[in-house]
Chains A and B, each alone.
Chain A
Amino acid sequence: MIQFSDLHKAYQGDTVLGPVTGAIEKGGITSIVGPNGAGKSTLLTMMGRLLDPTGGRVTIEGRDVFTTKSREMAQQLSILRQENQFTARLRVRELVAFGRFPHSQGRLTEDDHRHVGEALEFLSLTQLADRYLDQLSGGQRQRAYVAMVLAQDTDYVLLDEPLNNLDMKHSVLMMRQLRRAADELGRTIVLIIHDINFAAAHSDRIMALRDGEIVTTGTIPEIMRDEVLTDVFDTPVSVLEVDGRPVAVYYS
């Protein structure tokens, strides 16, 4: 379980998040939703220890993410940011192999190669493994990043907008693959999603943020209700039932 208490971030006195207190349960997929500037990325990057909080603490299974040794943390928690700019020109396989760094410190063992192969396989990248990242489409590249994070083989996986740059088809495929990672590999996945319907269709829980506060956290039926979504997004939203699934309509 990821727990955070009084977590708070301010830039030059302007609070962008919190103080928030809450928890993300172990297992399954938790989606973080909310309007722009709600503090979603801030919360996620602080949970992933990439950003120092102004106050408060984050623990994973009782261990403080900021004081635990970075290498040990990296074996338990992986995080993928939205933008990834690399100085070097890398092949897909080389990138995914970096995911094994917390375990091997750069000297890949048989076991590491197996993990890399599995991660490539899992995201259907085996055929692209020897291509350079800059020879891939945005969606393929996004998959390669996710493969790296999965190769890290951590219980907790944090993803900042993994559907960025993906078209309809690949968004669905990505969510299915993440669903499989959660179900078959037993990962706890936390992700930020812009499309509330994607979140509703593929995740177990939703955490809704607005103006740097957590408005509500709950299961899909608890969140997918007119009044809750209207409140979170500050826009009239009505939830319809389509094929037995709640679908939010908000274009009017």
Chain B
Amino acid sequence: MPVSEQPPPAEPQSATGRVAPASRRGDRGEPPPSRCRRRPRLPRFTAPPPGARVAIVGVLVVVAAVCYLLLFIRGSFQFAFDRRLTTLGTMVVVAFAHAIATVVFQTVTSNRILTPSIMGFDSLYVMMQTAMVFVFGGSALARTDGLPKLVVQTVLMVLFAVLLYRWLFAGRFANLHLLLLVGVVLGLAFESLSSFLQRLLSPTDYDMLSVRLFGRMSNSDGSYLPLAFAVCLVVGAVVWHRRHRLDTLLLGRDTSVGLGVDHKRELTVLLVLVAVLVAFATALAGPMTFFGFLVATLAYQLTGTHEHRHVLPMAFLLGLFTLVAGQFLMQHVFYAAGFLTVIIEFVGGIVFLVLLLRKGTL
């Protein structure tokens, strides 16, 4: 989307505020007359300010949510409504967790390509699930479903992240690139281990497992939601409190330290929060590798500013809109509700590759 990056061309009828750029342009020694003989054109579309853009996406989310909740209900209203409300709640948690985690992660690691998934999170989740089926059989997955398992999985994943960060930041190798590299290597190791174990499974067990290894919005358990919301609220409040500090982190370590930010502390706190969010979302709705990347990238493009007080809500709302509108369309237009996450991953993966090829570096 074209963001107005240059001052709008000075039109003769423009108000007082618009006159200034024209005279400035003259001062810079660039030829102003060439602009005057342009063909008359339609009133130029000026991009709305960041706040308005967030509000627009917010309205879209509300519309999509209302459509999703109320349209195409056949049979019992109460039953369908309750079920959809649960799914919507899950989507809110997933969108929030992935969007916020990805934006924060990309800010503190000073890159716009890598996401928390690259730190081996998804692979760890896959390995935990696989190991469980391998040891206890496929039926164990269903038997142990419940709050305790969710909490244990989350704690394990956060523990993994915190140990990794602490080990790497406390030691002699206080180096973000090394941390990322270790994350990638561990991720690969978990993945290889998982695929090895999966080969040894019986076809039935493997079938039951594979259902778990793709993101699923529609069949998550509503009883987790209050806890999930509480976690999101707490983490969200902490991140929101740090929104200006996050802005300075965009300038890199040295500049942010120069501006009085305790960089090491911020980094640790924020990475742990990222770990909590991703771990929780993954345990709740399965791994989604490229979803966070997709919405964060879109948010940077559409917000038109670097400020986190706009980018963070934008990323969350875009994520939510993608999920709700996507689910609505898939369910009622294409009759393929289960494929939503597959499609999001597919699109996200392609965007990821395109950006990676275009930039050529991380």
Contacts and interface: CB of A to CB of B under 8 A. Distances in A.
Interface of A: 45, 48-50, 69-75, 78-81, 84-90, 94, 98-99, 101-102, 105-107, 127, 130, 132, 149, 152
The 5 closest A-B pairs by CB, nearest first: A106-B244, A74-B260, A88-B306, A71-B260, A102-B260
A187 to B, nearest CB: 15
Given A88-B306, A127-B27, A98 B251 contact: yes
A70 B257 contact: yes
A107 B244 contact: yes
A47 to B, nearest CB: 12
Interface in B38-67: none
B258 A105 contact: no
Nearest to A12: B172
A86 B258 contact: no
A127 to B, nearest CB: 5
12 contacts: A48-B258, A70-B261, A71-B260, A72-B260, A79-B258, A85-B110, A87-B252, A88-B250, A89-B306, A101-B244, A106-B245, A127-B24
Contacts of B257: 49-50, 70
Given A70-B262, A86-B250, A102-B260, 7 more contacts: A48-B258, A50-B258, A71-B260, A80-B258, A87-B250, A98-B259, A152-B258
Interface size class of chain B, counting residues whose CB lies under 8 Å from the partner chain: 20 to 34
Contacts of B82: none
A81 B251 CA distance: 12
A139 B262 CA distance: 30
Contacts of A84: 251-252, 255
A192 B27 CA distance: 33
Contacts of A127: 24, 27-28
Interface of B: 5, 7, 24, 27-28, 106-107, 110-112, 243-245, 247-248, 250-255, 257-262, 306
A101 B306 contact: no
A81 B255 CA distance: 8
Contact of B112 (A75, A87, A90, A107): A87
**Interface residues of A, dominant DSSP:** loop
A124 to B, nearest CB: 11
Nearest to A73: B260
B252 A106 contact: no
Nearest to B257: A50
Contacts of B247: 98, 106
Contacts of A71: 260-261
Contacts of B262: 70
A102 B244 CA distance: 11
Given A105-B244, A106-B247, A87 B260 contact: no
Contacts of A149: 258
A37 B62 CA distance: 60
A104 B242 CA distance: 13
A53 to B, nearest CB: 15
Contacts of A152: 258-259
Nearest to B172: A12
A84 to B, nearest CB: 7
Contacts of A75: 260
A70 B260 contact: yes
A101 B27 contact: no
A87 B107 contact: yes
A181 B47 CA distance: 39
B259 A87 contact: no
A125 B258 CA distance: 22
Contacts of B7: 130
B304 to A, nearest CB: 10
Output the residue of B5, B244, B251, B252 with the most chain A CB within 10 A. B251
Nearest to A74: B260
Nearest to B5: A132
A88 B252 CA distance: 10
Contact of B252 (A48, A49, A86, A99): A86
B258 A78 contact: yes
A87 B244 contact: no
A101 B258 CA distance: 10
Output the residue of A69, A94, A101 with the most chain B CB within 10 A. A101
